[in-house]
Amino acid sequence: MRDLFKAELLRFRGWALGAFAVHLLVLLFFTRLVDLAQQPVFVYRVAGGVDALVGVLLGLYQVGSYRRPNVWLNLLHRPLAPGRIATALLGAGMVWLAVAVALPVLLAAAYQAGLTARVVDLRHWLLPLAAWSLAACGYLAGAGCMLGRPRSAIAALVLLLVPAASQASGAWALLMQASALAWLAAMVTVSFKPDLSAPPRSVPATVLLALPLQVAVYVAIIVVVQVGAQVIWMVQGTHPNNTETPPKGGQNETERMTPEQRMLTGLAVSTAPEAPLWREQVALSDVVAIAPDLDVVPARGALTNAAPVDFDDPARGVRWTFSHDRMRLSGYRIAGGRTVGTLGVGGTNAAFPAPTVATRGLPGQPKEDRSLLAGNMLYHYVSETGQVFPRIRLPHGEWLLGTAPVGENLAALSNHALYFFDGRDVVASENLLRPRQRMPIPGGPGGLHNLELIELVDGYLVSNAYTSYDYTMAGAAPYQTVTWVHDDGRVTLAARRPITFDYPAWFRYQSWWPSPVLYGLRQGVSSLFAAPDPMQVANPKPRPRSVLWLAATLMLASLLAALWLIRRRALSLPGQVAWVVACGAIGLPALASLWLLYSACERAPRTRLEPAAA
Amino acid sequence: MNNHVIETRALTKRYGAKLALDALDLSIAAGHIHAIVGANGAGKSTLFRILLGFLPPSSGSARILGRDSQQLTPEDRGRIGFVNEEHTLPNWMRVSAVADMQRHQYPRWNQRAYDEVIGHYHVLPEQKIGQLSRGERAGFNLALTLAQGPELLVLDEPTLGLDVVAKRAFLESLMYSSATESCTVIYCSHQMEEIERVAENLIILERGRLAHMSAPEEFCARVTHWVADIPFAGPPPAGVPGLLQVQRIDGLHHYLVLDQDEDFAQFLRGAGARTVQCMPVSLDRAVNGFLAKNHAMPAAA
């Protein structure tokens, strides 16, 4: 085994060292231009995608070069178990991926840590491992594509969706990658056998190969439904997003309105006696739109940056970067890069309770000042003194998502409520602000698409439109509310307008009805080891009866088709029973996997070929 | 004790509607050099792939060295040497590294056998495999396989694509190697002169079935070549007993027939032959005639 391993190392030596050199040069080049450790998540996704792609290509090439029958025979016909041969071959590939993918990242991190004042936290030291893990997943997926019958082996690629879809962060994200890697390694091991076309024989091997195949079919169904339906609608000119006049009373119509139009439409169904007056005031007032400053809340130790972690103070010539290890800001001179130390909260330099995100300063403060969102807190960074003071503290468990000036006052949006603060208090001192009004938001923040308000003489009129997930099953049934927030803190619902769906139910539930079981698996895997994200909460609507019937019909049809199909497949009786049950429970993806994994029984042709007698 | 290295019982392999092996019953005794011949598509390569566990049979059984071919262990594989026409070797490795690797993998490595065979070729240890000529690769591959100390050596058209000199060198390496004395050799080739030189037992496969098995000279004795001077049209082919092939050259009728004695001369004379002459045939001619008899051809031919 060691000799085979060394042989494969030798085979890819030149390519791997070349890739290492190119990768290192690229990273060092960009390190001179930007702080690679603090890039937005998109950059990490692209890098991770490239790593996985490199792995896929290596796996396809390496194992593909052995796939030809005579070469495969020559490789496996030796006094070594196939598993040991696979370990030797793939172990060599893994080593070279570590050299070409992970080592340059490690060296770049070491450069930043050792020779610059930039922040390099523990989470950054984990990036080489994450890069290698993604490349290794791609590598084994590529290798898996070459082992077995092409029509089913390509399903190995679907396991690359696990790290892509997982919402886990930090070390938990690495654990998810390791889980995908372990599954792929097991898949490759059971597929690495003399007869590549043979179906799996044991129950564990069947599960290892069948489940990814079923998920691949499930994903393919969703893609076909989603793309196919939309293309057809576009061709017909009936796509809700593309029609000149959107469907009346629907999500598109609401989203295309101006803030004033939206408030007026909401008020149109109000029965409040003040409604006519409010409509006049909307027409005359400045409508303020408030949107969250965060798409996702940052998690401590996350490998990537969900939101910007640094900001510049041009007046002091300092760039502040949030350090997850110290839970404080770490600064260095923009010119020269010399370190200026760390910055915490108040005079004691205390740690922040959560990773901070810098946003615009509070109203009435100098333009160099910044607001720092951190969990349920808002801090004021004072450029002149170089200090940070807590200004807003929301109840424990709430996440402060953003602020906006409303006239001379301040509004702050959390995942549970909208708060109003007196603008005079903001500039009067650096003390904690006390909210004058609190308006609970009626739905989950994930579904909130538009929040607008106007100032009234006796409070605020607030419009909430929940249309974000109208086209999927994840969100609430779309609606709009208009709420009157009184000066004295009372909250009165002025109007509630239901909004119709622009898309039919079968389209909105496209990820559920093909296989409710696999949908559940998908949801479970994507949220496994992940902290709940308050921005994703959307209070999903109950499933319509028509969709339930559609799913049940497909499951029954799959079961009946499986009963027909298993008679044409060489399976034991327990195997037949298990497959029929699986097709009934999982639906079409299981039926397709049964068809793809097992060849039809070889039957004698009706007219026998009779060789002539010698 | 069963001393067959290969045993198949009703072994059948179907590719869709096509039968590659048709209820093949074949028993090959241990020892000796056995040649397997057959036209393209006769099922030779399919047979080897089933025997080595790389293809499942549609039905029937196949045993190799006493083991079900679908249940071969790594130890069993160490007892079976296999050389195919591609001589697949890692191009990026040096000769010495490949030999070292094989030496470590095969517990019964026979360095003397390796040196014996590789001595027939001008192959340097520091050469990369990719730099070897096709003949050198074949010789190196044979050296590696014989040095494994196999109990059964399967050679599947090993000289395909080699020039005359390389073919001769390969055959001599094989024939004069001491390693072949202790193992059974299955030699599959279309080159009858090679079969004639090396084989002690001739196995003919035709359309997936065993058509013949005997010593090569016994098979040659069964096939005779008759030249008859028949002034007009000869007897209709369907009426010629044991006919394998008929040709008319320079006004003479040439008949290649199977299992015919002096009575065939009487038959030809009865058909109007003025002179009849019987000649022995080479193995090449005999096998070709035998295989050509049932060769598919267009209906109009």
**Domains of chain B: which residue ranges?**
4-214, 219-292
The whole-angstrom distance between B245's CA and the closest CA on chain A is: 13
Mapped onto helix, strand or coil, the DSSP state of residue A318 is: strand
Phi/psi for A218 (5° steps) reads -60, -45
What tens digit of pLDDT does each residue of B35-85 get?
Answer: 998 888 788 889 999 999 999 998 899 999 999 999 999 999 999 999 888
Task: From A271, A270, A246, A243, select the one nearest A256 (Cα to Cα).
Answer: A246
Q: Helix A13-33 to helix A103-115 angle, to the nearest 10 degrees?
A: 30
Q: Look at A611 and B207 and tell me if their CB atoms are within 8 Å.
A: yes
* β-bridge partners, A373: A357, A378
Q: Which residues of B touch A605 (CB under 8 A)?
A: 14, 17
State residue A603's pLDDT score: 65
- Helix then strand count (H, E) for chain A reads 21, 17
Place of tokens 């409508």: A287
Q: Which residue has the tokens 């003194």?
A: A385
Type of residue at B155: L
Q: Which of A65, A68, A602 to mutate to test the interface with B (most CBs of B within 10 A)?
A: A602
CB contact under 8 A, B53 and A612: no
B106–A79 CB contact, under 8 Å: yes
Token pair for B151: 């109990």
- Minimal C-alpha gap between B106 and chain A (Å): 7
In terms of CATH architecture, what is B4-214?
A: 3-Layer(aba) Sandwich (3.40)
Residue, of A541 and A174, whose pLDDT is higher: A174
Q: Which residues of chain B make contact with A72, given a CB cutoff of 8 A?
A: 54
Contact B234, B280 (CB under 8 A): no
pLDDT digits (tens, 9 = 90+) for A253-304: 999 999 999 999 999 999 999 999 999 999 999 999 998 888 888 899 999 9
* Chain A positions touching chain B (beta carbons under 8 Å): 2-4, 7, 10-11, 69-74, 76-81, 194-195, 198, 602, 604-605, 609, 611-612, 614
CA–CA distance, B216 with B213 (Å, rounded to integer) = 9
How much is the ipTM here?
0.86
Q: Return the pLDDT at B300.
A: 39
Contact A272, A521 (CB under 8 A): no
Number of H helices, E strands in chain B: 10, 14
Selecting from A4, A73, A611 the residue whose C-beta is nearest the C-beta of B209 gives A611
Q: In whole angstroms, what is the distance from residue B266 CA to residue B270 CA?
A: 6
For residue A106, with 0-12 CB atoms within 10 Å meaning exposed, 13-18 middle and 19 or more buried, which class applies? middle
Write the burial class of residue A69 (CB in 10 Å: 0-12 exposed, 13-18 middle, 19+ buried). middle
In this structure, chain B runs to a length of 301
Collect all residues of chain B within an 8 Å Cβ-Cβ radius of residue A65: none
Return the closest-CA partner of residue A154 out of A204, A206, A217, A104: A217
* Residues A136-180: tens digit of each pLDDT: 999 999 999 999 888 899 999 999 999 999 999 999 999 999 999
For residue B292, the chain A residue with the least C-alpha distance is A614
Cβ separation of B90 and A73 shorter than 8 Å? Answer: no
| Strand ranges, E, within B112-208 | 152-156, 184-188, 201-206
Q: A-B interface: how many C-beta pairs under 8 angstroms?
A: 90
Q: In the prediction, which pLDDT does B295 show?
A: 53
Question: In whole angstroms, how large is the CA radius of gyration of chain B?
Answer: 22
Work out the mean pLDDT of chain A and round it to a whole number.
92
Read off the amino acid at residue A402.
G
Nearest CA-CA distance, residue A74 and chain B, Å? 7
Residues of B in contact with A11 (CB under 8 A): 90, 92-93
Q: Please name which of A533, A536, A546, A538 lies closest in space to residue A476, comparing C-alpha atoms.
A: A538
Whole-angstrom distance, CA of residue A382 vs CA of residue A361: 9
**Nearest chain A Cα distance for residue B230, angstroms:** 27
For position B117, what pLDDT does the model report?
A: 85
Measured from the Cβ of residue A186, the count of other Cβ atoms closer than 10 Å reads: 16
Q: N- to C-terminal Cα distance for chain B? A: 51
* Cβ-defined contact of B90 to A11 (cutoff 8 Å): yes
pLDDT digits (tens, 9 = 90+) for A116-142: 999 999 999 999 999 999 999 999 999
Helix (H) or strand (E) holding A310: strand A310-313
What distance in Å separates the CA atoms of residue B43 and residue B202, rounded to the nearest whole number?
A: 16
CA distance A147 to chain B (A): 13
Supply A370's token pair: 């910044």
Give the C-alpha distances (Å, rounded to integers) separating A221 from A12, A192, A510, A523.
38, 29, 8, 17
Please give the C-alpha separations between residue A391 and each of A63, A348, A355, A400, A431, in angstroms, as whole numbers: 60, 16, 16, 12, 6
- Chain centroid offset of residue B279 CA: 25
Asked if A74 and B209 come within 8 Å (Cβ–Cβ), the reply is: no
A195: distance to nearest CA of chain B, Å? 5
Q: Which two tokens stand for residue A448?
A: 């909130």
Q: What is the pLDDT of residue A608?
A: 46
Interface test with B, best of A61, A70, A601 (most B CBs within 10 A): A70
A353/A298 Cα distance (integer angstroms): 12
Q: Phi-psi region for residue B207, left (φ > 0), alpha (ψ -120 to 50) or beta?
A: left
Question: Which residues, in sequence order, are CB contacts of A197 under 8 Å at separation 6+?
Answer: A148, A149, A599
Whether B23 and chain A come into contact, CB under 8 Å, resolves to no
d(CA A51, CA A53): 5
Do the Cβ atoms of A80 and B105 come within 8 Å? yes
Say if the Cβ atoms of A612 and B56 lie within 8 Å: no
Give the pLDDT confidence of A5-14 residue by residue, as tens digits. 999 999 999 9
Q: Which residues contact A130 (CB under 8 A, 6 or more apart)?
A: A48, A173, A174, A177, A303
For residue A223, give both structure tokens.
């893609």
C-alpha of A352 from chain center: 26
Does B209 contact A at CB distance below 8 Å?
yes
B64 CB within 8 Å of a chain A CB: no
Contacts of residue B124, defined as CB under 8 A and 6 or more positions apart, other chains included, come to: B95
Q: In the structure encoding, which two tokens stand for residue A117, read together?
A: 């004042």
Q: What is the DSSP letter of A398?
A: -
Query: CA nearest B52 in A: which residue?
Result: A77
Nearest to A79 among B84, B105, B293 (CB): B105
Q: Render each residue's pLDDT in chain B as its tens digit; 301 residues.
A: 468 899 999 999 988 878 889 889 999 988 888 999 888 878 888 999 999 999 999 889 999 999 999 999 999 999 999 988 888 888 899 999 999 999 999 988 989 889 888 888 888 999 999 999 888 888 899 889 989 889 999 988 888 888 888 888 888 877 777 777 778 999 888 878 788 888 888 998 888 888 888 888 888 888 888 888 888 777 888 888 888 888 888 888 888 888 888 888 888 888 888 888 888 888 888 888 888 776 544 443 3
Q: Positive or negative, the Cα torsion across A196, A199, A201, A206?
A: positive
CB atoms inside a 10 Å sphere around CB A276 = 11
Determine whether the interchain pair A74/B105 forms a contact, defined as Cβ–Cβ distance below 8 Å: no
Segment A12-65, tens digit of pLDDT: 999 999 999 999 999 999 999 999 999 999 999 999 999 999 999 999 999 999
Nearest Cβ partner for B78 among A73, A74, A79:
A79
**Are A612 and B18 in contact (CB < 8 Å)?**
no
- A526 CA to centre of own chain: 8
Is B208–A611 a contact, with Cβ atoms under 8 angstroms apart?
yes
**B3 and A CB contact within 8 Å:** no
Largest Cα–Cα separation, chain B: 71
Q: For A3-68, what is the HEC assignment?
A: HHHHHHHHHCHHHHHHHHHHHHHHHHHHHHHCCHHHCEHHHHHHHHHHHHHHHHHHHHHHHHCCCC
Percent of chain A residues topping a pLDDT of 90: 79
B94 touches chain A (CB under 8 A): no
pLDDT at A105 over 90: yes
* CA-based radius of gyration for chain A: 30
- Quick check: A321 pLDDT over 90? yes
Q: Look up tokens 């030779």; give the residue.
A: B44
Contacts of B55 in chain A (CB under 8 A): 195
Closest Cα partner for A65 from A81, A84, A89, A91?
Answer: A89
Domain spanning B219-292, CATH architecture: 2-Layer Sandwich (3.30)
Strand, helix or coil for residue A158: helix
How many Cα atoms occupy the beta-carbon half-sphere of B199 within 13 Å? 29
State the pLDDT at residue A613: 37
A230 neighbors A239 (Cβ within 8 angstroms): yes
Q: What are phi and psi of A243, to 5 degrees?
A: -70, 145
- Cα distance from B119 to chain A (closest Cα, Å)? 24
Q: Spell out which residues of chain B touch residue A76, defining contact as CB-CB under 8 Å.
A: 54
Q: Which residue of B has its CA nearest to A4?
A: B101
- Among B residues 96-125, those touching chain A with beta carbons less than 8 Å apart: 97, 100-101, 104-107
- SS3 sequence of A580-593: HHHHHHHCHHHHHH
**A231 membership: H or E segment, kind and range:** helix A203-236
User: Residue B55 is nearest to which of A81, A195, A611, comparing CB atoms?
Assistant: A195
* Pairwise CB contact (< 8 Å): B52 & A3: no
Q: What one-character DSSP code corresponds to residue A286?
A: P
User: Min CA distance, B261 vs chain A (Å)?
Assistant: 17
Q: Which of A10, A69, A81 sits opposite B92 (nearest CB)?
A: A10
Q: Which residues of A touch B141 (CB under 8 A)?
A: none
User: Is the Cβ pair B74, A611 closer than 8 Å?
Assistant: no
A73:B212 CB<8 A: no
Q: Which residue of A has its CA nearest to B141?
A: A74
Q: Residue B287's closest chain A neighbor by CA?
A: A614
Phi and psi based region of residue B243 (left: phi greater than 0; alpha: psi -120 to 50; beta: remaining): beta
Nearest of A352, A354, A390 to residue A371 by alpha carbon:
A390
Test the B interface: residue of A15, A72, A78 with most B CBs within 10 Å: A78
Contacts of A80 in chain B (CB under 8 A): 74, 105
The encoded tokens of residue B197 equal: 């030189």
What string of DSSP letters covers A160-198? GHHHHH----THHHHHHHHHHHHHHHHHHHHH-SS-TTP
State how far residue A51 is from chain B, nearest Cα, in angstroms.
26
Among A3, A10, A604, select the one facing B104 at the smallest CB separation: A3
